[in-house]
């Protein structure tokens, strides 16, 4: 849900500054459309695959989302270091599309998995509860992302300010370093403006603002992957 709700923003924040000629608004919009196609493919493609792999085996394949999501912060670190290579962009594009296909496959593969695990007579009620959890995630996911991104931005600003000359800071923002908290709250001090005050070549921390969120997502996916290993059918 975090990727679906904020895909365009994540793509822009990570890659736009390093690759402005490639990652345009049109490119980001096309990327969001491709995630929609990946979601649709996942619903049909993984449902077909489950006929051969079985429900549990298919959910085992979905565990590949753990390394795929965990690798995104590593790609962001490469871009933050000033790399303009298209390789991190291509890896990000493909890994997120595949992850979203797993999300789509979860919807289509879940009912038969529930029926095989708990019995057809209980599948309807349990599936309804799972859909309620999905509704909660649709509400909570973007808010969690926003909160973690804001916290990462605060830390990034503090790190850049620590490298900034106090006199240049006061001249640029019209207030001393002691007023940093108020300036951040008013959105006067931003990462781009601070980078203008620092030496050329100072790493831009913007691509790494989502690292904490993505590690959290990867951890949760890891928990679900381990839980899937231990699922056994309930005896009638």
| pLDDT, tens only, 213-227 | 889 989 999 999 999
DSSP character string of 174-228: SS-GGGHHHHHHTT-S-HHHHHHHSPTTPPP-GGGTTHHHHHHHHHHHHHHHHHH
pLDDT of residue 236: 64
pLDDT of residue 133: 87
Q: Helix, strand or coil for residue 235?
A: coil
| pLDDT(96) > 80 | yes
* Residue 202 backbone phi and psi in degrees, to 5: -65, 125
pLDDT grade for 47, boundaries at 50, 70 and 90: very high
**Burial class of residue 229, CB neighbours in 10 A (0-12, 13-18, 19+):** exposed
How many whole angstroms separate alpha carbon 195 and alpha carbon 204?
7
pLDDT digits (tens, 9 = 90+) for 192-205: 999 999 988 888 89
Residues in the chain, total: 236
**Residue spans of alpha helices (H) in the chain:** 2-11, 25-53, 55-62, 65-80, 86-118, 120-162, 166-173, 180-185, 191-197, 211-230
| pLDDT(83) > 80 | no
| pLDDT(78) > 90 | no
Identify whether the C-beta of residue 221 lies closer than 8 Å to the C-beta of residue 63. Answer: yes
Supply the pTM of this predicted model: 0.84
Of 94, 95, 93, 130, nearest to 109 by C-alpha is: 130
Identify whether the C-beta of residue 148 lies closer than 8 Å to the C-beta of residue 214. Answer: no
pLDDT grade for 58, boundaries at 50, 70 and 90: very high
pLDDT of residue 109: 92
Identify whether the C-beta of residue 79 lies closer than 8 Å to the C-beta of residue 209. Answer: no
| pLDDT(12) > 80 | yes
Task: Report the pLDDT averaged over residues 87-116.
Answer: 91
Please enumerate in sequence order all residues whose Cβ is within 8 A of that of 215, keeping only pairs 6 or more positions apart, or say none: 70, 73
pLDDT grade for 20, boundaries at 50, 70 and 90: confident
pLDDT digits (tens, 9 = 90+) for 123-142: 889 999 988 988 888 888 88
Mean pLDDT of the chain: 89
């Amino acid at each position: 849900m975090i990727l679906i709700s904020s895909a365009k923003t994540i793509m822009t924040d990570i890659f736009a500054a390093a690759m402005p000629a490639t990652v345009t608004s049109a490119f980001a919009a096309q990327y969001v459309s491709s995630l929609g196609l990946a979601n649709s493919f996942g619903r049909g493609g993984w449902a077909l695959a489950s006929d051969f792999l079985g429900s549990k085996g298919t959910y085992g394949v979905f565990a590949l989302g753990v390394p795929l999501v965990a690798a995104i912060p590593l790609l962001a670190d490469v871009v933050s270091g000033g790399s303009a290579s298209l390789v991190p962009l291509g890896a990000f594009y493909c890994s997120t599309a595949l992850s979203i296909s797993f999300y789509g496959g979860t919807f289509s593969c879940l009912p038969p998995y529930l029926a095989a695990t708990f019995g057809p007579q209980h599948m309807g009620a349990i599936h309804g509860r799972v859909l309620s959890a999905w509704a909660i995630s649709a509400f909570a996911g973007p808010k969690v992302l926003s909160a973690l991104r804001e916290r990462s931005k605060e830390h990034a600003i503090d790190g850049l300010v620590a490298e900034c000359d106090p006199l240049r800071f006061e001249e640029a923002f019209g207030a001393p370093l002691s007023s940093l908290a108020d300036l951040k709250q008013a959105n006067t001090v931003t990462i781009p403006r601070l980078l203008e005050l620092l030496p050329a070549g100072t790493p831009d921390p913007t691509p790494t603002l989502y690292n904490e969120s993505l590690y959290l997502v990867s951890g949760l996916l890891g928990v679900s992957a381990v839980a899937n290993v231990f699922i056994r059918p309930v005896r009638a």
